[in-house]
Amino acid sequence: MRYHRLPDGDGYRLIADDGDAAYDLTAVKPRLDEFTELAAAANVADTDVDELAETLVETAPTVDREALDDSALPIVPDEVWAAGVTYEISEEAREAESGMPEMYVQVYEAERPEIFFKATPSRTVGPDEPVGIRADSAWDVPEPELGIVLYDGEIVGYTIGNDMSSRSIEGENPLYLPQAKVYDKCCSIGPCVASAESVGDPHELTMTMEISRDGETLYEGETSTGEMDRSCEELVEYWCDHNSVPQNGVLLTGTSLVPDDGFTLRPDDEVRIEIDQIGELVNTVVEV
């Protein structure tokens, strides 16, 4: 199932979508108003989120599936982290931007992956909310990525992530990576959390990205998560090792869709990212 978080006055409602109908789980259990609560209940019951949701669907009222177009940030993660240089094209792109290209080859071919902190809840936005480009950056790009959703260290679902990046700042000096990656509105996730059971193999998903400006498509690209050089399980293991990860977190897994070197985002551009089995994440761009 896919789990959406719909605004409802001053609160939210958790909606489970099985592809045929959408069910209001909050109407059955008022405390279940977001995916984290469902994951916590499934953890206590020693079951998976879909099995628990199916017991609630039996008595849950349906909602118009068109209402899912208004989905909010599907999960408010305590922390968002990200993995870098997990696709060959990403390694090549970061070599091209950097004055120290050899370091990216060493990371791509190394046993230990690059894992870095990406965003706090206040820096993370949801569907149809604006993502940011830094005013002090000259070269800015979106990075479409499969996001792993963890609860208590276990993979419980997947989402779509946009790891907004300043390539000019990172390219100036690799030590500037935190400034290139972590700033206001630097990350978006959504439009839902697809359960691990419904996604199946996360390494066989088609991912696309489209960037448009004033109604004109400036970039279109398609790839597969099968091109990723590392597995989701490996990335999660390195993230969690010797690290007190939050109970509720998201780990982005890297990108293989990179616009041409001459392209940079501008305010009001629109970024559309789609991944099989999950959906489409749409954001406009603002300067921060």
pLDDT of residue 92 exceeding 60, the answer is: no
| pLDDT band at residue 91 using 50, 70 and 90 as cut-offs | very low
Classify each residue of 44-56 as buried b or exposed e, where b means 16 or more C-beta atoms within 10 Å of its C-beta: eeeebbbebbeeb
CA neighbor of 138 nearest in space, from 282, 262, 273, 271: 262
The closest alpha carbon to 156, from 25, 1, 48, belongs to 48
Flag whether pLDDT at 120 surpasses 80: yes
Q: Is the dihedral of CA 200, 281, 126, 184 positive or negative?
A: positive
Q: Three-state SS string across 129-157, please? A: CCEEECCCCCCEECCEEEEEEEECCEEEE
Q: Which amino acid is at 239?
A: W
Least confident segment among 21-35, 60-74, 128-142, 251-265: 251-265
Rounded to 5 degrees, what are φ and ψ at 211? -120, 130
DSSP category for residue 276:
T
Q: How far is CA 278 from CA 1, 12, 19, 194, in A?
A: 9, 20, 11, 6
- 177-194 pLDDT, tens digit per residue, is 999 999 999 999 999 999
Q: What is the pLDDT of residue 85?
A: 79
Note the pLDDT of residue 99. Answer: 54
For the chain, which domains are there?
Answer: 2-70 (no CATH), 79-287 (3.90.850.10)
User: What pLDDT band is residue 171 in, cutting at 50, 70 and 90?
Assistant: confident
Residue 57, both tokens: 């669907």
DSSP-based three-state secondary structure for 227: helix
Taking only the tens place, the pLDDT of each residue in 234-267 is 999 999 999 999 999 999 999 889 898 889 999 9
Identity at 13, one-letter amino acid code? R
Tell me, what's the pLDDT at 96? 53
Checking DSSP bridges between strand 279-287 and strand 131-133, what pairing results, if any? parallel
| pLDDT of 108 strictly over 90 | no
Q: What is the pLDDT of residue 73?
A: 97
pLDDT of residue 84: 84
HSE of 121 in the Cβ direction (CA atoms, 13 Å)?
9
pLDDT at 24 over 60: yes
Which tens digit of pLDDT belongs to each residue from 211-223? 999 999 999 999 9
Q: What is the mean pLDDT of the chain?
A: 92
Rg (CA), the chain: 18
